[in-house]
């Protein structure tokens, strides 16, 4: 179970859950499946669970009518034979009329079902979009696997991400000291503006060359802004070593990037026509959550998840804001620790407050959810590599490191901010290359930015290929760090407030408390 301590799980099982193996397996499996048998993959990914219920309704409505009609046919035929003309119709006429009556009954039943299917047709259309495309703030869809994973189960993933952002603001957290957080936050801004700007410029150039149009690809500007916090953390530990301040710098950057990503999803990628009055229900859920915490003193996270959480998710769903963000407001309402020990810190396993208990219980199930997410979303046709692929890859692999380095330099030179001791620009550039791993979040944003319909599925596939291809940023980061002389067993030092070298100093690990434990 996810709430067990690591010591209670065998090493192979820990390896699976602590290294995002389920997500990788799901993504690879989806790629293979979608290219070997596209039709069966699409049927699986967009299978409407409610169609099973409708099929049962078809049989329930059609079979009784059909059976009764055949019985009536036999009775009428027998009646016509026995009467020998005493009735107004002869045997042939009776048989004909009975068959006609049976056909009419079956047609009526079939027609009834057809009307039901027609009424659900719009829902099925919306289902192909993973549950989006509704009218008046209420998305119309069937209960497809795509919707259940992307809109419902991924809410748990974003809730855990929101938990890390919230705790980072607490005393001891990476965002609690504005002076120490200022440089990584400045780098985060560059990590958003750099890839978004490169993507937009690329779309404009490609449009002028007749390769695409702004209408086709313009909405994908946020896809390369994402940083996959789990994968980037694992890669950074290998490149820098567990205790290096660059790890903390990267984690703070990734946390802030996640926070910005939540805002971007909510503001720029609504799932339907906005109906913001529904958010009052989310506010009511938060108020109820604070009542649970302050007045009723409820310590189990289940109270907050099942009542205020359900209210908030439904509010986001009806408001047109992506429902995967629906649990984030409730994170703020759960009883929590007063300090932060750091993201992925093993010491947090000893904390039993509701917020930490929520993460401990759901961490491993969410890894399985991510496996499903990869399986449902990563199935793209390799033949659909196109302009969108290269724009996303360019934004992540080039725009990210350039933006991070440039804005770090601006922060240092213009705003007199400090780079943590033990770090130089070779480390900053290495961090930028590692942050180019978009993967999970980039894949999620791509499905929100290019809903099908109205987007051409080939366009979405091309953008997804860029998100999936960003995993190779890890390879580039390994090679780049090695070429720049960055080693896990050594520290290359440059100035903290200027570009001039200074004497080697003990690394400042005040921001690195988050690396004290394994990825849990």
Q: Is residue 239 part of a domain?
A: yes
Assess whether pLDDT exceeds 70 at residue 107: no
Whether 250 is in a domain gets the answer: yes
Q: Distance between CA 367 and CA 23 in Å, rounded?
A: 7
Contacts of 127 (CB under 8 A, 6+ apart): 46, 48, 141, 142, 143, 144, 146, 147
Cα separation, 132 vs 466, whole angstroms: 23
User: Both 106 and 164 in a single domain?
Assistant: no
Considering the domain architecture, whether residues 278 and 195 belong to the same structural domain is answered as yes
pLDDT of residue 62: 66
What are the tens digits of pLDDT across the range 394-432?
A: 999 999 999 999 999 999 999 998 888 788 999 999 999
Count of domains observed in the chain: 2
Q: Which residue has the higher pLDDT, 117 or 427?
A: 427
- Cβ proximity of 260 and 227 under 8 Å: no
Alpha-carbon distance 150 to 128, whole Å?
A: 12
Q: What is the pLDDT of residues 349-383, one digit of tens each?
A: 678 899 999 999 999 999 999 999 999 999 998 88
If asked whether residues 89 and 238 sit together in one domain, one would say no
What is the number of other CB atoms lying within 10 angstroms of the CB of residue 172? Answer: 16
Q: Which of 127, 160, 177 is the last residue of a domain?
A: 127
Q: What is the CA radius of gyration of the chain?
A: 29
Which uninterrupted H or E stretch holds 489?
Answer: none
Q: Is the bond leading into 16 cis (omega within 30 degrees of zero)?
A: no
Retrieve residue 283's tokens: 């506010």
User: What's the mean per-residue pLDDT of the chain?
Assistant: 79
Is the Cα torsion angle 254, 260, 263, 269 positive or negative in sign? negative
Here the CATH number for the domain that contains residue 358 is 1.20.1530.10
Angle at which helices 178-208 and 400-413 pack, to 10 degrees?
130
**Tell me, what's the pLDDT at 13?**
82
| Confidence (pLDDT) at 172 | 79
- What phi, psi does 269 have (nearest 5°)? -130, 65
Give the range among 75-79, 265-269, 457-461, 513-517 with minimum mean pLDDT: 513-517
Residue 227 in domain: yes
More confident residue, 105 or 454: 454
Read off the pLDDT of residues 229-256 as tens digits, 9 standing for 90 and up. Answer: 888 888 998 999 877 888 888 988 988 8
Residue burial 41-62, b: 16+ Cβ < 10 Å; e: rest: beebbbebeebeeeeeebeebb
Average pLDDT over residues 452-479: 93
Quick one: pLDDT at residue 277? 94
In terms of domains, do 359 and 286 share one? yes
Residues 6+ apart with CB under 8 A from 450: 219, 220, 459, 460, 463
Residue 112: give the domain boundaries: 52-127
Q: What pLDDT is attached to residue 303? A: 97
Give dist(CA 195, CA 201) in Å, integer: 10
pLDDT band at 142 (very low <50, low <70, confident <90, very high): low
For residue 467, give every residue at least 6 positions away whose Cβ sits within 8 Å of its Cβ, in sequence order, or none: 223, 226, 392, 438, 439, 442, 443, 445, 446
106 and 211, same structural domain?
no
Residues 323-348 have pLDDT tens digits of 999 999 999 999 998 888 766 666 67
pTM of the model: 0.72
- Where b means 16+ CB within 10 Å and e means fewer, 378-396 reads bbbbeebbbbbbbbbbbbb
Rounded-to-integer distance, Cα 17 and Cα 512, Å: 23
Per-residue confidence (pLDDT) for residue 343, from 0 to 100: 63
52-56, 133-137, 401-405: least confident range: 133-137
For 76, the token pair is 């009428």
Please indicate, yes or no, whether residues 140 and 122 belong to a single structural domain of this protein: no
Q: Does residue 145 sit within a domain?
A: yes
Does pLDDT of 472 surpass 50?
A: yes
| Bridge partner list, 138 | 135
Same domain for 299 and 234, yes or no, is yes
Terminal-to-terminal C-alpha distance of the chain: 12
Q: What residues pair up with 134 in beta bridges, in sequence order?
A: 272
- Identify whether residues 400 and 255 lie together within a single domain: yes
Give residue 291's Cα distance to chain centre.
30
Contact (CB, 8 A) for 274 and 200: no
Domain shared by 69 and 119, yes or no: yes
Q: Which percentage of the chain shows pLDDT scores above 70?
A: 74
Handedness of CA 267, 271, 277, 280 (dihedral sign): negative
Instruction: Identify whether 373 is part of a domain.
Output: yes
Span 118-134, mean pLDDT?
A: 39
Tell whether 115 and 243 lie within a shared domain: no
* Per-residue pLDDT reduced to its tens digit, 426-435: 999 999 999 9
**Cα 229 to chain centroid, rounded:** 13
DSSP letter assigned to residue 82: H
- Other Cβ atoms less than 10 A from the Cβ of 432: the count is 31
Q: Which two tokens stand for residue 184?
A: 């990584």
| Whether residue 25 sits in one domain with residue 83 | no
Do 100 and 202 lie in a common domain?
no
Q: How many CB atoms lie within 10 A of CB 3?
A: 15
């Amino acid at each position: 179970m996810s709430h067990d301590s690591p010591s209670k799980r065998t090493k192979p099982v820990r390896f699976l859950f602590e290294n995002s193996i389920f997500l990788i397996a799901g993504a690879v499996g989806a790629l293979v499946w979608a290219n070997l048998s596209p039709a069966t993959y699409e049927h699986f990914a967009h299978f409407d669970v409610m169609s099973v219920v409708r099929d049962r309704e078809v049989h329930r409505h059609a079979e009784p009518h059909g059976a009764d009609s055949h019985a009536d046919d036999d009775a009428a035929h027998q009646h016509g034979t026995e009467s020998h003309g005493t009735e107004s119709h002869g045997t042939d006429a009776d048989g004909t009329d009975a068959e006609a009556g049976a056909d009419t009954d079956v047609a009526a039943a079939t027609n009834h079902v057809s009307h039901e299917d027609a009424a659900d047709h719009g829902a099925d259309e919306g289902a192909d979009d993973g549950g989006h495309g509704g009218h008046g703030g209420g998305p119309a869809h069937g209960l497809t696997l795509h919707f259940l994973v992307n809109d419902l189960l991924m809410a748990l993933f974003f809730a855990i991400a929101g938990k890390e952002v919230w705790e980072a603001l607490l005393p001891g957290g990476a965002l609690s000291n504005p002076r120490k957080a200022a440089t990584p936050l400045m780098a985060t801004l560059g990590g958003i503006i750099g890839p978004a700007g490169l993507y937009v410029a690329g779309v404009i150039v490609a449009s002028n060359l007749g390769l695409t149009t702004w209408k086709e690809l313009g909405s994908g500007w946020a896809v390369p802004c994402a940083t996959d916090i789990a994968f980037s953390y694992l890669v950074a530990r290998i490149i820098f070593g567990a205790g290096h301040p660059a790890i903390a710098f990267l984690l703070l950057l990734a946390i802030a990037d996640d926070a910005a990503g939540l805002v971007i999803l909510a503001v720029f990628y609504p799932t339907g026509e906005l109906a913001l009055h529904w958010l009052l229900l989310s506010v009511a859920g938060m108020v109820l959550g604070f009542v649970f915490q302050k007045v009723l003193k409820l310590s189990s996270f289940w109270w907050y998840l099942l009542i205020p959480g359900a209210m908030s998710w439904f509010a986001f769903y009806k408001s047109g804001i992506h429902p995967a963000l629906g649990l984030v407001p409730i994170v703020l309402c759960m009883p929590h620790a007063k300090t932060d020990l750091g993201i992925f810190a093993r010491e947090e396993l000893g904390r039993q407050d509701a917020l930490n208990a929520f993460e401990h219980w759901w961490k491993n199930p969410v890894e399985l959810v991510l496996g499903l997410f990869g399986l449902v979303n990563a199935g793209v046709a390799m033949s659909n590599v196109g302009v969108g692929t290269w724009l996303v890859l360019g934004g992540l692999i080039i725009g990210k490191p350039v933006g991070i380095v440039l804005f770090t330099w601006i922060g240092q030179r213009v705003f007199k901010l400090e780079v943590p001791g033990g770090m130089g620009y070779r480390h900053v550039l290495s961090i930028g290359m590692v942050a180019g791993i978009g993967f999970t979040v980039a894949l999620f944003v791509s499905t929100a930015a290019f809903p099908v319909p109205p987007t051409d599925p080939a366009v979405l596939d091309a953008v997804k290929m860029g998100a999936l291809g960003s995993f190779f940023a890890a390879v580039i980061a390994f090679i780049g760090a090695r070429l720049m002389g960055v080693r896990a067993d050594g520290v290359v030092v440059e100035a903290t407030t200027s570009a001039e070298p200074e004497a080697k100093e003990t690394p400042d690990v005040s921001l690195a408390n988050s690396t004290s434990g394994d990825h849990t």
